[in-house]
Structure 1
Amino acid sequence: MIVGIAVLVAASFAFFLVVFPVIARRLLGIQVGITRTVLTGGVATGGISLASTLIRTPERQGLLMGVQMGIALMLAMVFLVVSEMVVPSASGAGRLRTIRSRIARIRRYSQISGIAVRHGLSPYLRGRGDRSGKGKAPGSARLAKPLRRALEEGGPTFVKLGQVLSTRHDLLSPEFIAELSRLQYQVRPECPERIAAQLHEEFGRPPEDVFAHFEHEPLAAASIAQVYLARLHSGENVVVKVQRPGVRAGIERDLDIICRMARMLDRRARWARDLGVVELAEGFAGSVREELDFRVEARNLATVRAAWAQRDAGPSVIIPGAVDDLSGELVLVLEQLPGLPIGAGGTELAGSEEERADLARSLLGSLLTQVLVDGTFHADPHPGNILLLDDGRIGLIDFGSVGRLDGQVRSALRRFLMAVHHADSAALRDALLDLITRPEEIDEQGLERALGRFMARHFSTGSAPDVKVFVDLFRLVSAHGLGIPPEVAAVFRALATLEGTLTRLSPGFDIVAESRAWASDDRGGARAGGFASVGAPLESELYSALSALRRLPRRLDRVTSALEEGRLSVNVRVLADSRDRRYLRVLVHEILLTVLAGTAGLMAVILMHATGGPMVTESIRLFEVIGYHLLVFSGVLCLRMLYVIFRAQR
């Protein structure tokens, strides 16, 4: 008899340990590990004991068994919610890593907050800063310098963010652009022993065994990597790019903080929503994460080199190849291009003025071909990434930062350049609307007139267009409430950056005029990658346009006839998108649960205070029993809804 009772108690305890956590997890939608499941079951079992203590008489305990179960379930749900808030679900060592990373993030976040306070930026982080107009950062004149100093103090990741922002003429005012353009970050070289250990770990042997010669003095030191000169056993000179040991964790932490701050600003500050800080932060984070994996740069190099070789575009612009056998995630071994960056001090520009102009045309044609034909282009062609080689050619290096365009965007960009070439404001408007994120309402006629004035100002006879073309275009787009996608902004940013490089290479070089010449057939566009080389897509678009024009009179006749006879109607499919239906279904579901929880709670209060009704026992009425159960039911639903709201706000 005693053994049977013990078995029954053990089975009941095991049942509670398993069933209550499962039900609580299903109600809340939380996935937890075994340890937390057992703890939840223990809390639920303790809840049953607590409920039994509160319900003193045996007759009440029998009638209110459902109430006891409900109290246990509510306690289990509360435990899961609180534990999830304190320590998010993870397992084993993953949980410890999560806790450590959270502590490190909090410490770093406090440092960033302290920097912001010291430089007077805290009001803007709370969304209370002033705003001087659309497309401008808050408090332009007085905020630019403190922001630049705060970014410098924040470290390499924030400096890199400032450098990216300094090229976004479409987002920031001239005061910010000028101040952020001063950002430079001098990085101390890494300890040679740590670099040697990094190479040893990557290759599985010392660098002296991999290379016939390895210069331990770095050629260049940046925040993410350092560059060394070496020679292979085959006698080929190479450049070895090595990622700094342990740099990934710090950069990932800072990127996470930047994205969190962007989401916070998006909720609190209107100026942040206008600037699209969330999209900007996420795009920046994705770009930096690509730079952390050198295999991405190797693939970018292979893609551009393969497309360049297929066109037989000429030897004026050289792209180094990667040594695949020695390259990986943390180390990239590249063919050495003997020469110096155009931006290096003391670099001599050899050759005549015409020869340097030819090199500039080749460099411009290379980038335009990458943008308009290949779809993968060098996104940061500043003078430090452009080499003037010893043999007089041009070398492109550092493909860690690249832009990628799909076929539709490339087609719109070709139409955009053709419209500029022919000074057609209507075609320019149509191409621009295909490039940008189009709002629901837009004044197309006003935009066309603005574009007409834009072309008259910059492309009329006798004018000399410069980098201000891109600045004014960004301003025009922003003034009409249009948003430029990051990949399109990267194109204009790269062209604006290239303009300064081309001016150093060939003073007085007209990037706009040369781009128009590159696009025309009489400048060898077929060989260089101009519009003649993409004639098939243009013919297809022209054919589509002619087909539409042929159908247009017949369709206009149908519309006017239906309008005259009163038969014109518009069919709109409401909720045709599955995402809209899913959202509406979830919304209705949550509303129904909320109404049901409130109704059950109200009915419970009414029934528990009712004085009439049949007596179930001598001390409790039927309405009271029903009321207790409805109250617990309402509590369970309310807990679930509160957790849904909490999860949506995280």
Structure 2
Amino acid sequence: MAALDFFRIGHTYRNIGRLRHIVNVFLKHGFGQFLERLNLRRFVPFRRRIRLLRMGRGEAPYCPLPEERTTLAERIRLAFEELGPTFIKFGQILSVRPDLIPRPFIEEFSKLQDEVPPFPVQEARAILEAEWKRPIEQVLASFDEVPVAAASIAQVHRARLLSGEDVVLKIRRPHIETLVAQDVEILRRLAELIDRRIPEMRIFNLTMIVDEFARCIRKEMDFVLEGENAARFRLHFDKNPDAYVPAVFRELSTLKVLVLERIGGIRINDVRRLEKAGFDLTDVARQGVEIAYKMVLEDGFFHADPHPGNLFVLPDGRIGIVDFGIVGRVSEDQQRLFADTFVAFVRKDFGRLVEAYIEMGVVSPETDLARFRREFKRDLEEMIEPIFGRRFRQIPLAEYAQRAIDLAVKYKLQLPRDLYLLNKTMVTIEGLALQLAPDLDLYGLARPFAERLVKKYYSASGMARDAGEEILKIASLVRNAPKRADDMVEKVLKDDLHLNLSHKGLDRFTQEFDRSSNRLSFALIIASIVVGSSIIVLSAKDVTHGYPLLALIGYGAAVALGLWLVIAIMRSGRL
């Protein structure tokens, strides 16, 4: 019955071929027993089903990659790579969520590379003309047919406008939205199936993970949104002497095409070329770090994919930033938490830091707050106290960032996705900076930004602003209290007050009951065939070898179905 779930959704028949491919790729990488538990045998070729039957009898599973040489996380990564763009993106998004999956999977999924062969230039031209609704010769003076980059969602071509500006064209892959929608739908149905049939995996909340992935990848495919992100960064760094963000040509940009000013420079990690060009590596590292601090601590809007391919040192010494598909945001509450962290760090007031987390609303409602205050404070002290008295360059920031994330996972803090993106961003920037200048004083660079942030929230004007906001919240609560009380009374009077109950372990009982009832029904059908065939024997006149032909067919079918039922019961281990 499990596989029939895929036929209950619209447009699913076109998904069956893709689903069959997905199932067989996971089977190839040693997940036969997992697929067996999901009852997806019908999507497996017959010769491979025989191997699944052997697995049910305890024989070794089919796996061309020996499990002693590959970990579970590695086999999943290899399957994602083989399944293409959607699954690669899925793994990459999971790689920044240590609150959702264990660390070995984080490390393995971080190896996924978003590099695929380019699609034909004829298709690129066709997309441009369809989006611009005119021949490209009426827009472009020149068009480089060889892409400079090709990824799972888009590829990039150089071009020159008729007006003379050098630009890059980011063109979305043909039909990628259809493939992504198809894969997301299959992933969602698989997640629901896993929740029902493998209860021990419910702790991962797979349906929520798939829904979040769907939101993320839809944003990445929206080039209008990416253009708006670029324009916002350009506004933030308009007068900044250290950074440059290319201009967006909005009149030529659409959902499928993004047109940006072309900038030329040296990749920020190309040390040899930077030195040859005469750049001061320490100054380059300083600029990169200060740009990141400004995004996070001042603007509250940061580039969440700052790998070396997206950062260039321009001829005038500024750092050029490109690719704005993945961004993160730091809310006012989160910036206030950062300010509280800085103050608590200076004062060694770990109790205040714990209260800041509680006030931020990231602690689960089911948490025992007294126990949380006691144990979380102790863990913070153990993590932070060794830092005091050490030079900042002696502090492994990446290690401490990871330990902070581990604490969040341990206490099930409901941190926003953007904070995990922020962790990855800062670790990446730190790594690049220390690669360029190992003795760079990161603390000295962070201090002015931290002081301005603390002043923003701890100055008289800042505290007055916060007090005003709290007064407005209280006023709103008081103003709406009578209406909320009226709504509750009205629901009681209308018998519209509901109580939600959840039964733990009921799903497994339902599955077992469903399986047993199906077998009982199957046995009754077999018995009915036997009885019907016997009646035919007693009443029929035309016989073959002493028995009616129809009765012989009925007996044969009953024997075959009976044997199949017995084998299924024996394989389940429940005689």
Task: Give the TM-score of the pair, scaled to structure 1.
Answer: 0.61
Residue 337 (structure 1) aligns with: 263
* Residue of 76, 82, 85 corresponding to 1:153: 82
1:106 aligns with 2:36: no
Matches within 5 A, 1:360-375: 360-375=285-300
CA, structure 1 residues 490+156, in 2 after alignment: closer, same or farther (shift >3 Å)? same
Ranges in structure 2 where 5+ consecutive residues have no aligned partner: 40-67, 472-483, 502-575
* Residue of 539, 545, 553 corresponding to 2:462: 539
Residue 585 (structure 1) aligns with: 496
1:194 aligns with 2:105: no
Residue 483 (structure 1) aligns with: 414
CA, structure 1 residues 519+193, in 2 after alignment: closer, same or farther (shift >3 Å)? same
SS at match of 2:227: helix
1:407 aligns with 2:318: no
1:320 aligns with 2:243: no
Residue 305 (structure 2) aligns with: 380
Equivalent pairs, count: 449
CA, structure 1 residues 466+85, in 2 after alignment: closer, same or farther (shift >3 Å)? closer
CA, structure 1 residues 168+496, in 2 after alignment: closer, same or farther (shift >3 Å)? farther
Residue 477 (structure 2) aligns with: none
Task: Give the TM-score of the pair, scaled to structure 2.
Answer: 0.69
CA, structure 1 residues 535+578, in 2 after alignment: closer, same or farther (shift >3 Å)? farther
8 Å contact kept, 2:131–2:256: yes
Residue 105 (structure 2) aligns with: 176
**Identity of paired residues, percent?**
31
Cα deviation, residue 187, structure 1: 1.1
Cα deviation, residue 271, structure 1: 5.7
Q: Distance in 1 between matches of 2:460 and 2:230?
A: 26
Cα deviation, residue 460, structure 1: 4.7
Q: Distance in 1 between matches of 2:494 and 2:272?
A: 62
Q: Distance in 2 between matches of 1:290 and 1:181?
A: 21
Matches within 5 A, 1:604-615: none
CA, structure 1 residues 236+175, in 2 after alignment: closer, same or farther (shift >3 Å)? same
Q: Distance in 2 between matches of 1:506 and 1:175?
A: 30
Cα deviation, residue 402, structure 1: 1.2
Q: Distance in 1 between matches of 2:73 and 2:490?
A: 42
Letter in 1 for 2:496: R
Q: Distance in 1 between matches of 2:6 and 2:101?
A: 38
Q: Distance in 2 between matches of 1:189 and 1:232?
A: 23
Cα deviation, residue 404, structure 1: 2.9
Residue 384 (structure 2) aligns with: 455
8 Å contact kept, 1:318–1:395: yes
Letter in 2 for 1:114: N
Letter in 2 for 1:253: Q
Residue 216 (structure 2) aligns with: 287
SS at match of 2:158: strand
8 Å contact kept, 1:300–1:399: yes
* Residue of 340, 364, 374 corresponding to 1:445: 374
Matches within 5 A, 1:6-45: none
Give per-residue Cα distances to partners, 1:201-238, cap 9 Å, x unaligned.
Answer: 11122222211221111111111111111112232211
8 Å contact kept, 1:409–1:435: no
Cα deviation, residue 373, structure 1: 3.3
SS at match of 1:358: helix
Q: Distance in 1 between matches of 2:490 and 2:151?
A: 45
Farther-moved stretch of structure 1 (342-351 vs 247-256): 342-351
Cα deviation, residue 357, structure 1: 3.0
* Residue of 29, 46, 56 corresponding to 1:119: 29
* Residue of 350, 357, 362 corresponding to 1:436: 362
Matches within 5 A, 1:120-135: 120-123=30-33, 126=37
8 Å contact kept, 1:301–1:319: yes
Residue 530 (structure 2) aligns with: none
8 Å contact kept, 1:342–1:504: no
Q: Distance in 1 between matches of 2:76 and 2:193?
A: 18
Residue 395 (structure 1) aligns with: 320
Residue 519 (structure 1) aligns with: 449
Residue 160 (structure 2) aligns with: 231
SS at match of 1:212: strand
Cα deviation, residue 506, structure 1: 3.1
Residue 472 (structure 1) aligns with: 403
Matches within 5 A, 1:495-514: 495-509=426-440, 511=442, 513-514=443-444
Cα deviation, residue 515, structure 1: 6.0
Ranges in structure 1 where 5+ consecutive residues have no aligned partner: 1-83, 89-97, 129-138, 549-572, 591-650
8 Å contact kept, 2:297–2:449: no
CA, structure 1 residues 119+400, in 2 after alignment: closer, same or farther (shift >3 Å)? same
8 Å contact kept, 2:6–2:189: no
Cα deviation, residue 197, structure 1: 0.7
Letter in 2 for 1:306: L
SS at match of 1:259: helix
Give per-residue Cα distances to partners, 1:147-177, cap 9 Å, x unaligned.
Answer: 1111111111111222222333444444333
For the aligned residue pairs, the C-alpha RMSD in angstroms reads 3.8
8 Å contact kept, 1:413–1:431: no
Cα deviation, residue 352, structure 1: 7.5
Matches within 5 A, 1:240-319: 240-269=169-198, 272-309=201-238, 312=239, 314-319=240-245
Cα deviation, residue 468, structure 1: 1.2
Structure of greater Rg = 1
